Every structure is written in C-alpha cells, then in structure tokens.
Amino acid sequence: MPIFEYDCNACGVSFEKLVRSTVHADKIACPKCASREIKRRMSTCAHAVAGGSSAPKSSGHSCSGNCSGGCKGCGNSH
C-alpha cells in the first residue's frame, strides 16, 4: 500500500495519504478544506535491503539505526 503526497489546489495544503487502490483515488479529499481539487506530487521512496537498512541514521537517540520495520521499536524515524 503506497503512501502518496498531494497538494490541494483550493487551500494550498500539502498532505500524505495511504492509498489502498488507485480505483479509489478520485475519492481523496483535502484533510483541511475537504476539496477534491488535489494534485498528486512526485515523491521519493526508500527500499529496505535484506541484511541492512537503507534508512539514514539520525542522532539524538540510542537506536543503532538497524531497527526492523521502519524503527517501530524505538519510536524514532531515521
């Protein structure tokens, strides 16, 4: 299930939305103004590699940066 990034043409807010199927893409509305005048943005993605992590390490917490599942274990994003 991909997460897409959108810009609202009505109020200008940017938001992300988990989209289960492209069939329902026309049902997505802005969370701020409820407008359906939105545009999907191109975004970057990261892929995990077996035996390692493609996520960059961040400072300020004790996690080694190798948490499985996107660092759900320590609650910090990398």
Between these two residues, 50 and 8, which has the higher pLDDT value? Answer: 8
pLDDT of residue 2: 78
* Cα 18 from chain centroid (whole Å): 8
CB within 8 A of 48, min separation 6: which ones? 54, 55
- Classify strands 38-41 and 14-18 as parallel, antiparallel or unpaired: unpaired
Read off φ and ψ for residue 27, nearest 5 degrees.
-90, -5
pLDDT of residue 4: 87
pLDDT of residue 9: 96
For 19-58, what is each residue's pLDDT tens digit? 877 667 778 899 999 999 999 987 666 666 676 555 554 4
pLDDT of residue 47: 64
CB 19 within 8 A of CB 28: yes
